[in-house]
Every structure is written in C-alpha cells, then in structure tokens.
Amino acid sequence: MSIGSYDQVNNLHLDILREIGNSGAGNAATALSMMLDRRIEMAPPIVRLTPIADIANALGGPEVMVVGILCHLAGDLEGMMMFVLEQAFAHQIINQLLMREIYSYEDMDDMDFSAIREIGNIMAGAFATALASLTGLTIELDVPGIAIDMAGAIMNVPAVAFGTLGDYALYIEEDIIEGTQQLKSRLLLIPTLDSLNAIMRSLGFGA
C-alpha cells in the first residue's frame, strides 16, 4: 500500500527509517571523529512520528536557542533534511576545531558559522549516503543553510513543509557522545510523499 499522507506511516515504515537512521548515525560518527580528531559515538537513534505542534518542545522548549542546519534533497529523492543541535554542541565544535572558547551566540564570527555549516554538511552527507546506499537511489544535496534562533522558530521551517502533508513529522533523536558528554542533536527528515514511497518501494515494501 502506498503512503497517501504522513498520518498513514506505520511501524514497519518507522522500522525501515530507524535502520536508515542507524546507518546514517554510524557514518556521521565516523566523519565527525575524523574532523574533530577524537572519538565520537552516536547514541542509537530514536525514530518517531511526532505531532508537528510538539516538535518545538524537543530541545527544552520553543524559546531555547538552537542551531538549525537545513539541506534540500534533490535527484531521485526530493524533500528536506534539517539538523537541530543544542548550542552547547555548536560551542564544543568551535572550541575543538578553531581552538577558541566561545560561550554565547554573540561571540560567534563568520569563521565559526562556517565551521558549523561544515559539520552540517558532513552530517547531511552521512545520512544521504546511508539512505542512498540502502535504497540504491540517487540523492543530491545543496549547500546547507544555517540559522541560530529560538527552537520553535527554526523547527517551524520543516513543520511548514510537513504542514501541507499532514500533522505529523518524522523525527529522529540522535545524541552525540563524546567522552562523558552527551550532546543533543535532532534530525527532521522530510521526504515528499512520492519520495517516501520511493524509499519503501526501493526496499521492497509497498506497491
């Protein structure tokens, strides 16, 4: 049965997406470890279908400052992918990569933004690679856009894209573990319905 709206996504579909999430998280951990030159692990991802209205609460409330990294998917799969990282994670990356201590958004300069964008690029690439290799589909990514603002306002962007498709969003929690620290990262994967069906078909499910 093909999926006619996100409201019809079932447990089987979620299992498949979880597998893609697992594989993507593995790739992302490897890529991040190399970039930051230290051991990074990803917690096993939690994949859920979440009401759009609840997404903004995911990182501690709608007014919490977060970093959003947004990519558009093209090729055989169309849609959007968005990473949302807690600010502490962004600061950590900058501290390690650029060897400078920053404590708040106001401290960030162009170089810092480009470091964050690069991380977004790597993570998006890691997930796209996982998705492409599991499905055999071709996926093209654009250069990610970056925004730092209130969680509600940022998560609103993919929510709006979902809004025309249904009242639920595909939501992946994939925390990053570095030493004793667990840093929160969230992924919203938003294939168009046609593309979601293409993923299922390519894996042998659905019509």
Partner 1 sequence: MSKTVIGISDLNIADPPGEGSVITYALGSCIAICLYDSVAKIAGMAHIMLPASKECPTDRNMKKFADTAAVELVRMMEMRGARRVRMKAKIAGGAQMFKVLSDAANIGRRNTQATKDILRSLLIPIVAEDTGDDFGRTVEFFSANGILQVRTAKMGNWEL
Other beta carbons within 10 Å of 186:
22
Establish if 157 lies at the interface with partner 1 (CB under 8 A): yes
Q: Do 161 and 80 meet the contact criterion of CB atoms below 8 Å apart?
A: yes
Helix (H) or strand (E) holding 128: helix 110-135
Residue 34: CB minimum distance to partner 1, A: 26
- The C-alpha atoms of residue 41 and residue 191 are separated, in whole angstroms, by 26
| Candidate residues 3, 52, 59, 128; the one interacting with partner 1 per rule CB under 8 A | 52
Residue 189: CB minimum distance to partner 1, A: 16
Establish if 141 lies at the interface with partner 1 (CB under 8 A): no
Backbone region of residue 134 per phi and psi (left: phi > 0; alpha: psi in -120 to 50; beta: other values): alpha
Establish if 152 lies at the interface with partner 1 (CB under 8 A): yes
- The C-alpha atoms of residue 95 and residue 104 are separated, in whole angstroms, by 12
Closest CA to 119 of 3, 31, 30, 207: 31
Q: Which stretch binds partner 1 (CB under 8 A): 15-23, 90-98, 133-141, 151-159?
A: 151-159
- The smaller minimum CB distance to partner 1, of residues 20 and 128, is found at 128
- The smaller minimum CB distance to partner 1, of residues 16 and 151, is found at 151
Q: Which residue has the tokens 């993919």?
A: 158
169 phi and psi angles, rounded to 5 deg: -130, 150
| Candidate residues 1, 12, 53, 88; the one interacting with partner 1 per rule CB under 8 A | 53
User: Site residues for partner 1, window 174-203 (CB under 8 A)?
Assistant: none
Establish if 160 lies at the interface with partner 1 (CB under 8 A): yes
Establish if 102 lies at the interface with partner 1 (CB under 8 A): no
Q: Do 146 and 116 meet the contact criterion of CB atoms below 8 Å apart?
A: yes
Establish if 137 lies at the interface with partner 1 (CB under 8 A): no
Establish if 109 lies at the interface with partner 1 (CB under 8 A): no
Q: Which stretch binds partner 1 (CB under 8 A): 20-28, 42-50, 52-60, 197-205?
A: 52-60
